[in-house]
Structure 1
């Protein structure tokens, strides 16, 4: 099932269907492992992010459910992070290499990539409990599927639209807060919060695109570009942390200086670009956007009901087809 809530269907049933689809896909990835166990983990964790964004939409009317299920999925994702996070650092250095300012800097980044690859392979070899973690993660996903039956929401147009508007506004306010912090400070944590808010925003645009398909798609594309930029920025912050914790991993002082120089230069450029794009993506106020979501979703539900009635009326008003005469 597509990652999308259809306004033409009862909200609770749609929510359950989308959530179960993401959970079932995660289970298949973890158990079938079409490529490698680590690639399966990486793909499953993407499903977990989508689930957590979905759960935010019911928080106004199902706080206990959202808190419990969000914690369940968050904790599962954490248990599966070690090797993937180590691999992401290699990808980050390789990304930096595409922006190297000199041959010396490129050579230093190549050495860093090789060192990080050795580190990743060591972590993978030492992770003897990965099969057990994957088995536990699959079991947790099945428990999450069963827990969906507990969800009981008011599916009437008014309460549904109001619920979505509240959730939308809260998420947008998080983005506004993070953006304001990034404007005033160059703290990595603020940019990380902006990235997380942007990811949730992008996923909510996908989930609710039935409300206004063309506008939602355009907004989603711009938000995805922002999230990608902030993703690179966050990866560089994580890499900086490792450099500070384990400088010996990166060779001599000259190599280390060149790696740090590449990180700083690229991170500054990414932050500037991210702020410009974020102000464009979040240009509308949280209140106005949430009010618009409520209106559009309410109208989408009503229009879908009218279309069903019209289709049913048209079908019942058609005369029965005459039987064909037998061939001579």
Structure 2
């Protein structure tokens, strides 16, 4: 089901359809697992991120609902995060390997991939309750869908236009602040915050594509490229934390040294590229963008 909100339809109905559609898809994925357990978890978490972004868009109108249901979905995603995060680390070293600067580095990173695959497999064996968690998750999602069905938006078209514009403005304003913080301190936390706001922004471009299809599609593509960069940066930070916390997985000192050198080099390059891309994505004034969204919304319901 398309993740869309159409201005010329009931806002309540469109909101419910968008949220329930994503969660229903997540339920089917977890129950059927067409591409296996790990990919099912990955797809399920993406569905939940879109729903949580939607809740942030309308937070000013339904603050208690947003706080309660965001916590429900956040906790559910964390319930199934460990194995997926272990797989993401393998993909991260694979990413480093594709950009290796010489053959020796590539071979060392290949051995690191094998070590991380062994770690993930041991985690999967140890986490005997993963199937139980997968069985439990659809019931939690069905409760979340029922909560969505109780939400009502009582405003007319003008109020809905202001609501959507406010959510858009709040996200872009927070993204601008995150960019400033990234330039000031370049920490893992600041770049992760920017990533979350970029994910919200992309979700809104998908949600509101009916307002201006060509422009929203173009924005979606450039925002996706930023999110990809920020995702690599986040995964590299997580990999650094793993090296420090679980050094037993990297007994070869030479391989470990090459891994850390590759991480530092790639982090610097990706952070620089991400900040340049972020300026392109969030270059417009947040209030001017929000005003444009409100006008486009009102034009379709007038």
Give unmatched runs, 5+ long, in structure 2. Answer: none
Shift, 1:294, TM fit: 1.1
Q: Is residue 2:101 matched to residue 1:104?
A: no
- Determine the C-alpha separation between the residues in 1 that align with 2:154 and 2:177: 31
Greater shift, 201-210 or 127-136, is seen at: 127-136
Give unmatched runs, 5+ long, in structure 1. Answer: 303-328
Q: Is residue 2:126 matched to residue 1:120?
A: no
Deviations 1:177-216 (A, max 9, x none): 1100111122111111111111110111110111111111
In structure 2, the partner of 1:269 is: 269
Larger radius of gyration: 1
Shift, 1:246, TM fit: 2.1
Shift, 1:259, TM fit: 0.5
In structure 1, the partner of 2:2 is: 2
* Structure 1 residue matching 2:3: 3-state secondary structure: coil
In structure 1, the partner of 2:283 is: 283
In structure 1, the partner of 2:232 is: 232
The aligned runs of 1:1-328 (5 Å cut-off) are 1-302=1-302
* Structure 2 residue matching 1:280: 3-state secondary structure: helix
Shift, 1:217, TM fit: 1.1
**CA contact under 8 A between 1:191 and 1:234: conserved in structure 2?**
yes
- Determine the C-alpha separation between the residues in 1 that align with 2:211 and 2:298: 9
* Structure 1 residue matching 2:35: 3-state secondary structure: coil
- Determine the C-alpha separation between the residues in 1 that align with 2:252 and 2:26: 42
Shift, 1:76, TM fit: 0.4
- Determine the C-alpha separation between the residues in 2 that align with 1:245 and 1:130: 23
Shift, 1:153, TM fit: 0.5
Greater shift, 85-94 or 36-45, is seen at: 36-45
- Determine the C-alpha separation between the residues in 1 that align with 2:142 and 2:21: 11
Q: TM-score, normalised by structure 2?
A: 0.98
- Determine the C-alpha separation between the residues in 1 that align with 2:232 and 2:271: 10
- Determine the C-alpha separation between the residues in 1 that align with 2:233 and 2:186: 12
- Determine the C-alpha separation between the residues in 2 that align with 1:24 and 1:124: 26
Shift, 1:173, TM fit: 1.5
Q: TM-score, normalised by structure 1?
A: 0.90
Deviations 1:53-78 (A, max 9, x none): 11112111100111111111111000
- When the two chains are superposed, the root-mean-square deviation of aligned CA atoms in Å is 1.0
Aligned residues: 302
